[in-house]
């Protein structure tokens, strides 16, 4: 039942954004069509005071342009204020960790990886105290091979998704008292011998979460479409949270225990971006280090079987995480843009009616202007309410933890 509710809200959110983008597309189309059909009227909108002539016309034009510029700058200020990333709370300060005193556990999600998982486990055990393999409903001998390789194995009866698999592994590691949790894929494309490089920033007290960046290291093989998708998702993630990272999709990372004591991963499909967004919003320090990425030795990628579905669910996961921590930025931006478009349309209608003495735009643009302004105000008010609830939740949680 909760899963149906989760899917229902996700589809509702998706439909909302489809409608918003369709509305923006329609407005842009109408605006471009109007400029093409009435280029002189568009120009007259900016220079109409000059038609008065003389010094009065010049002063009037200067006043009109100043008014428009001031309005644009005011709107830009509001948008900038909305988009400005708030100072992140310092929840847990980083401190040096003695490797001999720290319990390091590596979590490996696996689905039909019998051919290559033994080598990954063997290398991981050189640098970890324990290795946990979460067998996500494999139909081959993955579970047997992992157990023979001295890993702790937990199995799903059916395939349940990458996000839930990693989440289960993290929960198991926390139960075993892990101080630092490593995640790495089972296919051998990441080199487990680079685990010390990924651990180092945490041990040195320079990070709470370390991302092994493929784009800072050597990439032996990555399809162009996958590379492009990774770049786009990373760009979105780093801009959303104002982070200096180069690979938001990496599955090779190290995380301090304290991070998972403060954040909760919710997605069954993807954990990569959600972990980054939630950890950053909670004030934890993130860094990335170069790691090498090799061509897969055995078979094809299996953890992500449907790239289109994975991309959609990843986008929804990022949206939900951002909604939880930056509701005013999300809804405020949409609301201000809608009000801005409605205001500009309304200004043109007023200019046409009062200055030109005509009403060629008709009832359609009047309705559109009113609709955009009212919708924008509603979305903005919703953002304010969500922001108030989010701040109250953060304060309550802080008091309960103190």
pLDDT of res. 1: 47
CB under 8 A, 24+ apart: contacts of 3-12: 10/316
Domain shared by 347 and 221, yes or no: no
269, 292, 317 - which closes a domain? 317
Q: Which of 146, 138, 140 is nearest to 108 (CA)?
A: 146
Domain shared by 283 and 134, yes or no: yes
Domain shared by 47 and 75, yes or no: yes
3-state secondary structure of 369: helix
Instruction: Give CA–CA dist 365/240, Å, rounded.
Output: 34
Domain shared by 187 and 261, yes or no: yes
Asked if residue 309 is part of any domain, the answer here is: yes
| pTM confidence score | 0.67
Asked if residue 243 is part of any domain, the answer here is: yes
The CB density around residue 360, as the number of other CB atoms within 10 Å, is: 12
β-pair partners for 154: 134
Instruction: Give CA–CA dist 91/246, Å, rounded.
Output: 24
Domain shared by 108 and 64, yes or no: no
Q: How far is CA 52 from CA 56, 59, 61, 66, in A?
A: 7, 10, 10, 18
Express each pLDDT in 230-260 by its tens digit: 888 888 888 777 888 999 989 999 999 999 9
Cβ atoms 371, 399 nearer than 8 A: no
The CB density around residue 156, as the number of other CB atoms within 10 Å, is: 16
Q: Are strands 180-183 and 253-256 parallel, antiparallel or unpaired?
A: antiparallel
317, 348, 363 - which closes a domain? 317
Rounded to 10°, the helix 307-325/362-401 angle is 70
Domain shared by 213 and 66, yes or no: no
Sign of the CA dihedral running 5, 169, 275, 117: negative
Domain shared by 178 and 159, yes or no: yes
Domain shared by 310 and 183, yes or no: yes
Express each pLDDT in 112-124 by its tens digit: 999 889 999 999 9
259, 292, 317 - which closes a domain? 317
3-state secondary structure of 231: helix
β-pair partners for 209: 255, 286
CATH code for the domain of 123 = 3.90.550.10
Cβ atoms 317, 269 nearer than 8 A: yes
Asked if residue 3 is part of any domain, the answer here is: no
pLDDT of res. 27: 67
Which residues are within 8 A (CB) of 29 and not within 5 positions of it... i.e. 6 or more apart? none
Cβ atoms 179, 260 nearer than 8 A: no
What does the angle CA 193 – CA 186 – CA 179 come to, to the nearest 5 degrees?
A: 65
Asked if residue 226 is part of any domain, the answer here is: yes
Asked if residue 159 is part of any domain, the answer here is: yes
The CB density around residue 267, as the number of other CB atoms within 10 Å, is: 24
Domain shared by 361 and 212, yes or no: no
Domain shared by 290 and 161, yes or no: yes
Q: How far is CA 190 from CA 209, 244, 271, in A?
A: 18, 22, 18
Pull the structure tokens for residue 355: 């200055």
Asked if residue 388 is part of any domain, the answer here is: yes
Asked if residue 53 is part of any domain, the answer here is: yes
* Matching residue, tokens 């801005």: 340
Which residues are within 8 A (CB) of 342 and not within 5 positions of it... i.e. 6 or more apart? 368, 369, 370, 371, 372, 373, 374, 375, 376
Instruction: Give CA–CA dist 224/298, Å, rounded.
Output: 20
State the greatest distance between any 2 C-alpha atoms of the chain, in Å, as a whole number: 93
Distance of CA 354 to the CA centre of its chain: 46
Asked if residue 92 is part of any domain, the answer here is: no
- Please tell me the total count of domains within the chain: 2
**Could you list the residue range(s) of the whole structural domain that residue 373 is in?**
23-85+327-401
pLDDT of res. 2: 47
Domain shared by 265 and 353, yes or no: no
Instruction: Give CA–CA dist 194/389, Å, rounded.
Output: 43
Which residues are within 8 A (CB) of 56 and not within 5 positions of it... i.e. 6 or more apart? none
Burial of 201 (0-12, 13-18, 19+ CB in 10 A): buried
* Helix or strand (DSSP H, E) at 165: helix 162-175
pLDDT of res. 91: 46
Residues (pLDDT < 70) of the chain are 1-14, 16-17, 20, 24, 27, 31, 34-35, 38-53, 57, 74-75, 77-94, 268-269, 299-314, 317-318, 354-357, 359-362, 393-395, 397-402
Domain shared by 311 and 185, yes or no: yes
């Amino acid at each position: 039942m909760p899963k149906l509710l989760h899917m229902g809200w996700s589809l509702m959110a998706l439909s909302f954004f489809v409608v918003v983008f369709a509305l923006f597309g329609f407005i842009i189309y109408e605006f471009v069509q109007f400029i093409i059909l009435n280029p002189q009227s568009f120009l007259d909108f900016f220079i109409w005071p000059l038609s008065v002539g003389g010094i009065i016309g010049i002063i009037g034009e200067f006043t009109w342009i100043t008014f428009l510029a001031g309005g644009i700058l005011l709107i830009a200020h509001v948008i900038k204020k909305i988009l400005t990333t708030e100072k992140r709370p310092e929840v847990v300060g980083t401190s040096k960790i003695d490797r001999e005193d720290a319990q390091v556990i590596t979590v490996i999600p696996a689905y039909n990886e019998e051919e290559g998982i033994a080598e990954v486990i063997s290398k991981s055990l050189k640098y970890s105290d324990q290795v946990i393999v979460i067998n996500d409903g494999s139909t081959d001998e993955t579970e047997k091979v992992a157990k023979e390789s001295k890993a702790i194995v937990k199995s799903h009866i059916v395939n349940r998704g990458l996000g839930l698999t990693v989440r289960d592994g993290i929960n198991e590691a926390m139960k075993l008292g892990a101080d630092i949790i490593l995640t790495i894929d089972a296919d051998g494309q990441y080199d487990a011998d680079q685990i010390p490089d990924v651990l180092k920033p945490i041990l040195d007290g320079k990070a709470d979460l370390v991302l092994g960046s493929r784009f800072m290291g050597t990439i032996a093989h990555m399809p162009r479409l996958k590379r492009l998708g990774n770049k786009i998702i990373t760009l979105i993630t780093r801009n959303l949270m104002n982070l200096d990272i180069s690979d938001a999709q990496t599955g090779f990372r190290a995380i301090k225990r304290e991070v998972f004591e403060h954040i909760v991963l919710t997605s069954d499909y993807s954990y990569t971006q959600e972990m980054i967004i939630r950890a950053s919003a909670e004030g934890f320090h993130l860094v990335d280090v170069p790691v090498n990425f090799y061509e897969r030795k055995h078979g094809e990628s299996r953890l992500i079987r449907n790239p289109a579905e994975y991309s959609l669910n990843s986008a929804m996961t990022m949206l939900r995480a951002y909604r939880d921590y930056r509701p005013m930025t999300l809804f405020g931006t949409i609301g201000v843009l809608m009000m801005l478009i409605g205001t500009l349309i309304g200004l043109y209608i007023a200019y046409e009616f009062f200055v030109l003495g005509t009403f060629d735009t008709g009832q359609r643009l009047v309705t559109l202007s009113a609709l955009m302004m009212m919708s924008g105000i509603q979305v903005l008010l919703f953002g304010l309410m969500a922001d108030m609830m989010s701040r109250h939740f953060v304060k309550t949680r802080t008091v309960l933890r103190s």
